Structure 1
Amino acid sequence: MTYQGVLTKMQTEIGNTIQYYLVFEDSFLNMNQLLNKEIEFNFVGYECLNCHKKKKIFRQGFCYDCFYSSPAVGDWIMRPELSTAHLGIADRDLEYEQKVQLQPHVVYLAVASEIKVGVTRKTQVPTRWIDQGASQAIAIVEVPNRYLAGITEVALKSHYTDKTNWRKMLQQTTQVFDLVQEKAKLENLIPEEVREYFFSEKNDLYELNYPVLNYPTKVASLNLDKTPSFQGKLVGIKGQYLIFENGSVFNIRSSEGYVVTINV
Structure 2
Amino acid sequence: MVYTGVLTKMQTEFLEPIQYYLVFKNDFIHVNQLLNKPIDIKLIGHQCLSCGLDRPIYRQGFCKTCFFNQPLAGDWIMRPELSTAHLGIEDRDLEFEKQVQLQPHIVYLANSSNVKVGVTRKGQVPTRWIDQGAHEAIEIVEVPNRYLAGITEVALKEHVADKTNWRTMLKNDIKDEDLLEWRQKLKQYIPEEAQPYFIENNTETHIDFPVEHYPLKPKSLNLSKTPHYSGKLVGIKGQYLIFEDNTVFNVRANEGLVVELSM
Whether these two folds match at TM > 0.5 is yes
- Corresponding residue of 2:155: 155
Paired with 1:44 and 1:259, the residues of 2 have a C-alpha distance of 6
Paired with 1:210 and 1:184, the residues of 2 have a C-alpha distance of 28
Paired with 1:84 and 1:3, the residues of 2 have a C-alpha distance of 42
Shift of 1:175: 2.0
Paired with 1:241 and 1:187, the residues of 2 have a C-alpha distance of 33
Compare 182-191 and 129-138 and name the one that shifted more: 182-191
Paired with 1:166 and 1:154, the residues of 2 have a C-alpha distance of 21
Deviation string 1:46-96 (CA, Å, 9 cap, x unpaired) is 000001111111111000000000000100000000000000000011000
Query: What amino acid does structure 2 have at the position aligned with 1:216?
Result: P
| Structure 1 vs Structure 2 CA RMSD | 0.5
- Corresponding residue of 2:107: 107
Shift of 1:154: 0.2
Query: What amino acid does structure 2 have at the position aligned with 1:138?
Result: I
Query: What amino acid does structure 2 have at the position aligned with 1:203?
Result: N
Q: Give secondary structure in 1 for the equivalent of 2:195.
A: helix
Compare 175-184 and 12-21 and name the one that shifted more: 175-184
Paired with 2:25 and 2:107, the residues of 1 have a C-alpha distance of 33
For 1:206-221, what aligned pairs fall within 5 Å after superposition?
Answer: 206-221=205-220
- Corresponding residue of 1:22: 22
| Structure 2 spans left out of the alignment, 5+ residues | none
Paired with 1:16 and 1:22, the residues of 2 have a C-alpha distance of 18
Paired with 1:203 and 1:186, the residues of 2 have a C-alpha distance of 15
- Corresponding residue of 2:54: 54
Q: Give secondary structure in 1 for the equivalent of 2:42.
A: strand
Q: Give secondary structure in 1 for the equivalent of 2:194.
A: helix
Deviation string 1:107-145 (CA, Å, 9 cap, x unpaired) is 000000000000000010000000000000000000000
- Corresponding residue of 2:13: 13
Shift of 1:203: 2.0
Misfit runs of 4+, over 3 Å: none
Shift of 1:185: 1.4
Query: What amino acid does structure 2 have at the position aligned with 1:135?
Result: H
- Corresponding residue of 2:179: 179
Query: What amino acid does structure 1 have at the position aligned with 2:18?
Result: I
Shift of 1:184: 1.2
Give the TM-score of the pair, scaled to structure 1: 0.99
1:82 matched to 2:76? The reply is no
- Corresponding residue of 2:96: 96
Shift of 1:205: 1.0
- Corresponding residue of 1:227: 226
Shift of 1:232: 0.4
Query: What amino acid does structure 1 have at the position aligned with 2:30?
Result: N
- Corresponding residue of 1:244: 243
Compare 78-87 and 185-194 and name the one that shifted more: 185-194
> Number of matched residues?
263
Paired with 1:88 and 1:171, the residues of 2 have a C-alpha distance of 45
Paired with 1:15 and 1:6, the residues of 2 have a C-alpha distance of 26
Paired with 2:186 and 2:239, the residues of 1 have a C-alpha distance of 29
Paired with 2:48 and 2:63, the residues of 1 have a C-alpha distance of 5
Paired with 1:242 and 1:162, the residues of 2 have a C-alpha distance of 23
Deviation string 1:211-253 (CA, Å, 9 cap, x unpaired) is 0000011111001100000010000000000000000000000
- Corresponding residue of 2:63: 63
Q: Give secondary structure in 2 for the equivalent of 1:186.
A: helix
Paired with 1:235 and 1:118, the residues of 2 have a C-alpha distance of 29
Paired with 1:182 and 1:167, the residues of 2 have a C-alpha distance of 23
Shift of 1:188: 1.3
Q: Give secondary structure in 2 for the equivalent of 1:192.
A: coil
Paired with 2:196 and 2:224, the residues of 1 have a C-alpha distance of 48
Q: Give secondary structure in 1 for the equivalent of 2:220.
A: strand
Shift of 1:186: 2.0
Shift of 1:33: 0.1
Paired with 1:203 and 1:231, the residues of 2 have a C-alpha distance of 44
| Structure 1 spans left out of the alignment, 5+ residues | none
Seq. identity, %: 62
Paired with 2:41 and 2:53, the residues of 1 have a C-alpha distance of 22
Shift of 1:14: 0.5
